[in-house]
Amino acid sequence: METRAHYVAVGAFVLTMVFLAFVAVLWLAGTQFTTSFAHYDVYFEGPVTGLSQGGRVEYNGIPVGTVSDIEIITDPEILASNGRKPIRVTVEVKSNTPVKKDDAATIQTNILSGVSYILIEPGKSQELLQAQHGQRYPVIRSKRATLASLAARGPQLLDKLDVILDHVDDLLNDQNRQAFSSTLDNVQKVSHDLAEHSGEIAANAGEALKAAANLFTNLDTAVTQQGGLKDQALASLGDFDRLVKGLSDTNHDLQTTLRDVSPGVKRFSQQTLGDVDALVGETRQFIAGLSRLVSQVEHDPTRLLFGDRREGYQPK
């Protein structure tokens, strides 16, 4: 009886575990089926080492989906449209993930495990990413991660470093090393001479400082003493102020004189000028008559004494 009871207990336990596993599978399947996903394409130019199907996809560090497909593109049209990036990675993320127009996808690699995943970094735009004409899915722009950029530029940096080392080697040739050694010897000699004559240099410097102090003292005295530059400048400013005031008074007197003379000038322009014009006309007539008289005297001088002796025509 005891053995049979153990078999019943074990069988009940096994059936219970199978039932719970079945329920768990149904629950997980239901969760998977009720969650909707959106697909996006990401094109990469460099290697995607460590990335595989089923790899994790994160949005700003939060898991939102997985990698569904990785393939190499050979279609010229697709290559031309994505900027000659031959590797296409298709990801499926949750539909409620706010993938924006300027978001960027990078490949991040775990240094310890070597497993890579897709990280979508959000941008500043608020416009959701949409598929363009000719695209099967919306395309998330890609960029290199920091470590990937360093790894890609590593050979170039090494080449430049090699060139720099060659230039340094050329710079440190025997001739330049000898010239540098001579320069160091000259510097050592100069410093030694300065050390030997430090007392004289200090004395000369003290005398120069004393001379400079005396110069500043004399300048201060010349400026501040009575009758100095300060007083002369103040006197010049006073004279200039009086000159400006005199010019102002002269201008006022001139304006007053012009106002007094203005009526006489107006009467002169209205009356006297008319009389002068008439006098000029009469003078012109007088001169014209005098010219005719002189002309007649030149032709017949006796006419002035005896008159006109020509007989006119007398009809019969």
* Cβ proximity of 120 and 138 under 8 Å: no
DSSP assignments along 48-63, one per residue: -TT--TT-EEEETTEE
Q: 37-44 and 104-109 as β-strands: parallel, antiparallel, unpaired?
A: unpaired
Question: What is the Cα–Cα distance from 35 to 51, expressed in whole angstroms?
Answer: 24
Element of type H or E holding 15: helix 2-34
Rounded alpha-carbon distances, angstroms, from residue 265 to 257, 262, 275: 12, 5, 15
- Written as tens digits, the pLDDT of the chain (316 aa) is 455 556 777 777 778 888 888 777 767 655 555 578 999 999 998 888 889 999 999 999 999 999 999 999 988 888 888 888 899 999 999 999 999 999 999 999 887 888 899 999 998 988 999 998 888 999 999 988 666 555 556 677 777 887 887 777 777 777 877 877 888 888 888 887 777 777 777 777 778 888 888 777 777 776 676 666 666 677 777 777 777 787 777 777 777 777 766 666 566 566 666 666 776 777 777 777 777 766 766 666 555 555 555 554 455 4
For residue 134 the two structure tokens come to 């000719």
DSSP 130-191: ---TT-SS-EEEE---HHHHHHHHHHHHHHHHHHHHHHHHHHTSHHHHHHHHHHHHHHHHHH
